[in-house]
Structure 1
Amino acid sequence: MSRDNLAFVRSHMLPEAPPPVAETGAVKWLRENLFSSVGNTLLTLVSAYVVVRILFGVAPWFFNGIWDSPSLSACREMLDGRTGACFAVLTERWNQLLFGFKYPPDLYWRPTLAFVLLFVAAAPVLFMKYLPRQMLIFTGLYPFIAFWLIWGGSIMVPIFALLGVLLGAFVYWRTLTISAGVAVLAGIVAALVFWWASRLVTAPLGDVLALQPVVSRDLGGFMVNMLLGVVCVSLSLPFGIMLALGRQSRMPIIKWICVVFIEFIRGVPLITLLFVANVVLAYFLPPGTTFDLILRVIIMITMFSSAYIAEVIRGGLAALPRGQYEAADSLGLDYAQSMQLIILPQALKISIPGIVNVAVGLFKDTTLVSIISMFDIVGMIRGPILASTEWNGVYWELFGFACLLFFIVCYGISQYSQWLERELRTDHR
């Protein structure tokens, strides 16, 4: 046999070769996402052209911006005909945009501290798997601490408010064996009686660790939007769960009360409810009764968002197969146990995107309070700032700053919801 007919057998392995340039790194990403076909290539080129034109048009407005100027006229003189923003209004009025124009400047540290402590209080709830459960104690105390920091006054007021909540919870658990409805009613009555009686005790102790009091009408700026957003979202979630369960109840009275409430609230614009909170609600109170406007607004916004969250959660409950309810019955669980351990965890997991959508919309809708003369960040821009002779005519800079603040908060909520969905995923895809 000649040498030419012998097969070649390699005696050693070839060294690893790098992957093709088109199959790795940025080139692969561009090819798969932007230039995967003729149509995508054309769309990419057109989009790139539009983005470049926008950047070239907006860039001079940013880079030529003036950050130090006493007024709009002085800012225009500094620009001398060039295109540029007058960001000096932000450096001059940042405190009013964030805290309002009546909140004492030497007390800015109090709402700032309350804002920082909000993340500490929310962390064990949002990241329960990664933080010790003992931190939930601070989460329960935070609402009373934040109230004391923002509104001031004696520390005995939040302390007795906390004691009333604890007493109501204790009465609820002690009477739960009788009936769930009786337990809830007994807990509420016990807390209300304790709070009414505590007024006789807090008056003589009014100077105990007292901070300078600040009335609600002095709150303003983005602080009002954050306050309404955090409080109303926190309250509307449990109320929405109760409304969703009540609408599916087999007891006709409870079911129809929940149905009428949900359908009525969802059929009425939020701005109408805010006008009711501002004007009409006072006619139903006894003469001489003072009902804080912020509290009235919190009640109305919470009612509004609770109705929407109830429908979102009802959709999650309807998405569960009937076998889940039958499995709970086969384990011998009563209604409360089956809802707590089997049904609600799955329904809430399904409802996360809808709940987050309602929460984001609710936070943005807090700007509607400017219609009823509450000086949130939009009310501050449309009122005292634009009404001043120094800054009359500045629009893009102020509303752009407000958009940036709302975007940061809403984007953070959206990213957390996506992270939570990935954490709760059980299909391992």
Structure 2
Amino acid sequence: MSSEIYKPGSYPNLPPPPGTVGVYGWIKNNLFSSISNSTLTIISVVLIYYLIDGIIGWFFFDAVFDANSKIECRKINDGACWAVITRRVGQFVYGFYPEVERWRIDISFLTMFIAFAPLLYPDLPKRKWLLWFSGIYPFFAFILINGGYFGLTKIEYSLFGGFMLTVIIGVTGIVCSLPIGIFLALGRQSKLTVVRTLSVCFIEFMRGVPLITLLFVASSMLNYFMPPGTNFSILVRVIIMFTFFSAAYIAEVIRGGIQAIPKGQYEAADALGMNYWQTTRFITLPQALKISIPGIMNTFIGLYKDTTLVVVIGLLDPLGIGRAALADTKWNGLSTEIYLFVALFFFVSCFAMSRYSLWLENKLNTDHK
């Protein structure tokens, strides 16, 4: 023991006792703090080991990645028959889009990240210049994917499918439904009777009807509500219904955010002489959107997953492609591999969206602890 004497208030900070901090300390305090905890930890580790060992073996070590049929897979090994995916990966990604034209999809997909970057990350360098590309990207992507202009071969919508179809419907619905949802939320809060009534009717109708019913309406009846001579393709009609359906839910999420703003802020805006649009733009709407970030992202993720419902009206999304593969006698009975592959795609996409939502929420957090 040191014999050095310190004056009151000048004692140095001593390190914590050994075994109470770091990895060892966390393991000791959380996993082996008592006999019962130690027993449960050992049992859990054993169970997890056998579970993971079996799953990894079936997924990778015993899996077959190259075969011509299910029977050939089983002759090679008894693990997962991923050959059903590798032999049809082009269809899963592009649907029946012509193979020689798939470079157009690749370019559209890669440039999508460039277009979204300045919108999703406000601190991005050269953001002002990138926003110009974000503005023209929808037209650029439409011309590139659809064709018919600048010497590009026109591709029929009936050839769209797979993950490409999911991304087109999901991203377009998300991007278009947010501004519509904002206007609907403001309309429902409006003091103008006509605007408020129309907004309420639209929101309640869309929220009160199942999406699958709206998709059937889009596939068979929507053209009857359009002016004579108007003929939208089935894909455009589906995107319209997805957008309206999502916008109704987003409107209610944002309306909840608006109602959470203290009344005193409205009074302060009135005291400063702000009109309705100035108050909405600079005070209420930014705060409402910040409050509503988790709800908005939850709605977006739900919309993205609901794109699988288009299979009921004949569009071949990844599930539709998978069902077509299962109908082939060579791959019949491999539904586990197909559905796991599709589930992995949706998990990665939705997890990325949830992570961005959390990042944005933390970035905009102004609370000080």
Shared fold, TM over 0.5: yes
Measure how far apart 1:285 and its partner are: 4.7
- Deviation of 1:283 after TM superposition, in Å, equals 3.6
- Equivalent residue number for residue 76 of structure 1: 74
Matched, 1:118 2:59: no
- Find the partner of 1:143 among 138, 145, 150: 138
For 2:64 and 2:25, locate their aligned partners in 1 and report how far apart those are by CA, in whole Å. 42
What displacement does 1:213 show?
1.1
Cα deviation 1:117-176 (Å, max 9, x = unaligned): 11101000110123322211010011011111111121xxxxxxxxxxxxxxxxxxxxxx
Structure 2 CA distance for partners of 1:43 and 1:296, relative to 1, 3 Å: farther
- Taking a change above 3 Å as real, the CA distance of residues 18 and 220 of structure 1, as seen in their structure-2 partners, is same
CA 46–305 in structure 1, closer or farther in 2 if over 3 Å, else same: farther
Is 1:413 equivalent to 2:350 in the alignment? no
| Aligned pairs for 1:308-327 within 5 A | 308-327=249-268
TM-score (norm 1): 0.79
Give the counterpart letter for 1:111 in structure 2: I
* Alignment partner, residue 396 of structure 1: 336
1:240–1:38: structure 2 CA closer, same or farther, 3 Å change rule? Answer: farther
The residue type paired with residue 199 of structure 2 is C
Matched, 1:28 2:28: no
Structure 2 Cα separation of the partners of residues 16 and 245 of structure 1: 56
CA–CA separation in structure 1 for the residues paired with 2:195 and 2:38: 58
Separation in structure 1 between the aligned mates of residue 35 and residue 283 of structure 2, nearest angstrom? 50
Residue 354 (structure 1) aligns with: 295
SS at match of 2:215: helix
What is the DSSP-based 3-state SS (H/G/I as helix, E as strand, rest coil) of the residue aligned with 2:88?
Answer: helix
CA distance in structure 1 between the partners assigned to 2:145 and 2:37 by the alignment: 53
CA shift, 1:10, in A, is: 5.7
Identity %: 49
Q: Distance in 1 between matches of 2:227 and 2:179?
A: 30
Post-superposition offset of 1:45: 4.9
Provide the rounded CA distance (Å) in 2 between the counterparts of 1:39 and 1:110: 60
Once the two structures are superposed, the pairs formed by residues 11-160 of structure 1 within 5 Å of their partners are 19-35=16-32, 44-45=41-42, 47-62=44-59, 63-79=61-77, 83-100=78-95, 102-131=96-125, 132-154=127-149
Corresponding residue of 2:185: 244
SS of 2:109 mapped into structure 1: helix
| Contact 2:117-2:124 within 8 A present in 1 as well | no
1:219 Cα deviation from its structure 2 partner: 0.5
Deviation at 1:49, TM superposition (A): 4.3
- 1:21, 1:27 within 8 Å by CA — same for their partners in 2? no
Question: How many residues are matched?
Answer: 363
2:363 alignment partner in structure 1: 423
Over residues 53-88 of structure 1, what are the superposed CA-to-partner deviations in whole Å (9 max), with x where a residue is unaligned?
321331221210011111111111112xxx301111
**Residues 70, 331 of structure 2: 8 Å contact kept:** yes
Q: What stretches of structure 1 of length at least 5 have no aligned partner?
A: 1-6, 155-208
Measured in 1, the distance between the counterparts of 2:322 and 2:132 equals 39
CA distance in structure 1 between the aligned counterparts of 2:287 and 2:200, rounded to whole angstroms = 23
Letter in 1 for 2:137: Y
State the distance in 1 between where 2:38 and 2:117 align.
44
User: What TM-score results when the alignment is normalised by the length of structure 2?
Assistant: 0.92
> Partners in 1 of 2:192 and 2:5 — Cα distance?
82
The 2-side partners of 1:32 and 1:318 are apart by 44
How many angstroms apart in 1 are the aligned matches of 2:297 and 2:178?
Answer: 11
Change (3 A) 1:128 1:15: closer
CA distance in 2, matches of 1:8, 1:290: 93
The answer for the alignment partner of 1:184 in structure 2 is: none
149, 173, 176: which one pairs with 1:232? 173
Look at both structures and tell me which one has the larger radius of gyration over its CA atoms: 1
Taking the aligned partners of 2:98 and 2:299, their CA distance within structure 1 comes to: 34
1:290 Cα deviation after fit: 2.5
